[in-house]
Chain A
């Protein structure tokens, strides 16, 4: 693997639901995410699209506290796109 970069490695996930939280600032995106996960089975994968600049840090704190897993977070212009897996019930 020497000399090879993982930078272009693309991993794909089967997204069970996409949450468009672009219209809301804190705590909108986190509340929309939590509310969606409540009705979904363990292991479900959701994608959240947000514009709240605090969302990435908030999401990390939420994930550390609740145990739900962040599979990916990236920025696209002003948008933050996160992929989260539900852990536990």
Chain B
């Protein structure tokens, strides 16, 4: 892992609020579309975004919130689409936080495929000496 090139952008998602999860994926997929190497690390409540079925729940809650305020989710990309783009992009990695999985009693199988479960040191080791920009949502 440490032999890999550091990412250009590392994004930490710690909340399952739509205002955290959406901009995190919007920036991450756009960075990837611009040729940047991107890594995302999901921890605490943010882990929900990469638990199977979690993204749909977050999206549903967001749409309900919008409608309550008399708004429509017009033009907003589907969260599931952004996640698929991220998972299918080269130079894009998604990690799940091991401590959160343990603390919340989530089984490893309930995390979407292709997201290694790592700790803080593994995540930081690739970025500590590089010029990675870290964004926290």
Contacts and interface: CB of A to CB of B under 8 A. Distances in A.
Interface of A: 23-28, 30-31, 33-35, 52, 62, 65-66
A9 B3 CA distance: 53
Contacts, number: 34
A30 B34 CA distance: 9
Give chain B's interface residue range (CB within 8 Å of chain A): 10 to 19
B76 interface: yes
A30 to B, nearest CB: 6
Interface of B: 26, 29-30, 33-35, 74-77, 85
Interface on chain A toward B: helix, strand, loop, or mixed SS? helix
B35 A66 contact: yes
Contacts of B29: 27, 31
A31 B34 contact: no
Contact of B77 (A31, A33, A35, A62): A31
